[in-house]
Amino acid sequence: MWKPLPRNKSKNNIAYFKAGNGPNLLMIHGVGLKAESWSAQINFFSQDYTIFAIDLPGHGESDNLKIESNNLNSYIEEIKLFVDEVIHNSFIIIGHSLGALIAINYAKQRKKNCAGIIALNCIYQRSDEALKKVKLRLRELKSQNMNKEIELTIVRWFGKSPKGYLNEISNVCRQWLLESNKEGYLNAYDVFANQRGIAKEVLKKIQVPITFITGSEDLNSTTLMSKNMANFCFLGAFNEIKGAGHMAMMSHSDEVNRIIESFITMNSK
């Protein structure tokens, strides 16, 4: 399931996996991850859709950002360049965590080619305490304690003693984080750690259908956050996956795939 995927490269050095034939789906992962985190979705949807699963700058096989300012808009600009070169028709954009922040802000800026948004485990109105904690984690990652902080990340995602399939996924994610491009990982985490979440004003300007998906056990991208975001969107919807944590698209792929499939079907009529 999680074996390495062959990549193409765009002119702005975004590595991506392309598969399938049909309407376009663009998948954007979260901090420290890569295209393979969407493997369950790629396997399910590539029979009927054209999948573009990218590595964010500084992740997987994509080059680090070669610009002075490292902020959320830097990543959005790279996605714009990628889309203009590689995807020639409209598409539904699917983002996870940091990828969800990028996806929503991209759709707000580029209204013509984005037909819909699926945002997994997205953040909204982080509290001062939550922001303080994530910035502390960033400092730990930048210190000599990176491997320790990675282990704590795995615990947040999967619990202290995951069993069976969940343990298998936790080991895969641990390996990805440990083997990640450290500069790219830290750059992305720096951006993520300084975000309170999607602005209310941005949500109100989203005119395409959007659905928010989060796990009931995700303590940082909570169900209440997703409900509130959906309420501010003109065509917003919310889905909670019981028992899932932050990595729902891997741990509860069947449920996530059904929600995505329903969203596509409803918005393709």
DSSP per residue over the chain, as a string? --PPPP-EE-TT--EEEEE-SSSEEEEE--TT--GGGGHHHHHHHTTTSEEEEEPPTTSTTSPPP-SS--SHHHHHHHHHHHHHHH--S-EEEEEETHHHHHHHHHHHH-TTTEEEEEEES---S--HHHHHHHHHHHHHHHTTTHHHHHHHHHHHHH-SS--HHHHHHHHHHHHHHHTS-HHHHHHHHHHHHT---S-HHHHHT--S-EEEEEETT-SSS-HHHHHHHHHHSTTEEEEEETT--TTHHHHTHHHHHHHHHHHHHHT--
pLDDT of 267 higher than 90 = no
Question: Which residue carries 């998948």 as its tokens?
Answer: 27
Digit-coded pLDDT (tens) for 92-110:
999 999 999 999 999 999 8
One-letter identity of residue 136: L
**Three-class secondary structure assignment of 125-140:** CCCHHHHHHHHHHHHH
One-letter identity of residue 173: C
The number of angstroms, rounded, from the C-alpha of 154 to the middle of its chain's C-alpha atoms is 16
Q: Mean per-residue pLDDT for 176-188?
A: 95
Return the pLDDT at 1: 77
CA–CA separation, 153 and 139 (whole Å): 14
| Token pair of 164 as six digits | 């069976």
Return the pLDDT at 162: 94
Q: Mean per-residue pLDDT for 30-53?
A: 97
pTM reported for the whole predicted model? 0.97
Q: Mean per-residue pLDDT for 141-157?
A: 92
Determine the CATH number of domain 8-127+196-266.
Answer: 3.40.50.1820
Return the pLDDT at 149: 93
Mean pLDDT of the chain: 95
The number of angstroms, rounded, from the C-alpha of 119 to the middle of its chain's C-alpha atoms is 7
pLDDT of 68 higher than 90 = no
Q: pLDDT band for 119, please (50, 70, 90 cuts).
A: very high
Q: Where are the domains of the chain?
A: 8-127+196-266
As a dihedral over the C-alpha atoms of residue 98, residue 99, residue 104, residue 109, rounded to 10 degrees, the angle is: 100
pLDDT of 88 higher than 90 = no
Digit-coded pLDDT (tens) for 238-251:
999 999 999 999 99
| Token pair of 98 as six digits | 């940091």
Q: pLDDT band for 269, please (50, 70, 90 cuts).
A: low
CA–CA separation, 120 and 221 (whole Å): 9
Closest CA to 36 of 50, 20, 56, 21: 56
Q: Mean per-residue pLDDT for 4-8?
A: 97
